[in-house]
Amino acid sequence: MITQATRRISRALDELDPFADPYTLEVSSPGLERGLRTPSHFAGAVGSTVNVKTRPGTEGDRRVTGTLERADDDDVTVRLDDGSTRVLRYDDIERARTVFAWGPAPRPGKKEKTQ
């Protein structure tokens, strides 16, 4: 998909020739895992697996991994692997990101099922 977009954009720029100097077109993906910084970022990631690092002095473990269950304007709720939940205020979060879970690789000689 990125390759197709790059080709289309490159052709359009070649036709328009909007730059006086030579240029190099670079198109890339931001990656599979997303940094979460604002309440809207967290709200968009509800249902995803997240890694959260809390600020020093925050009660409990500093590193939290689990499923983001809820996010509002004040805090988030993460369901941990043991089934418990942890509520974290945004002020207590130092860094957070979604986690992409890689699935098993297809077996050699087997075609992946498409839906």
Whether pLDDT at 9 is above 60: yes
Residue 91, token pair as written in the block:
């002020």
Least confident of 13-22, 51-60, 86-95: 13-22
Q: Could you give the CA distance from residue 48 to residue 69 in angstroms, rounded to a whole number?
A: 8
Q: Could you give the CA distance from residue 21 to residue 17 in angstroms, rounded to a whole number?
A: 10
The domain over range 39-98 is classified in CATH as 2.70.70.10: no
Domain positions in the chain are: 39-98
- Unique residue bearing structure tokens 């860094």: 95
> Taking the model in full, what pTM does it have?
0.66
pLDDT, tens digit, 9 for 90 and up, residues 28-37: 767 778 899 9
Nearest to 94 by CA among 53, 61, 62, 60: 53
**pLDDT band for position 43 (cuts 50, 70, 90):** very high
Tell me if 92 sits within 8 A of 56, measured CB to CB. Answer: no
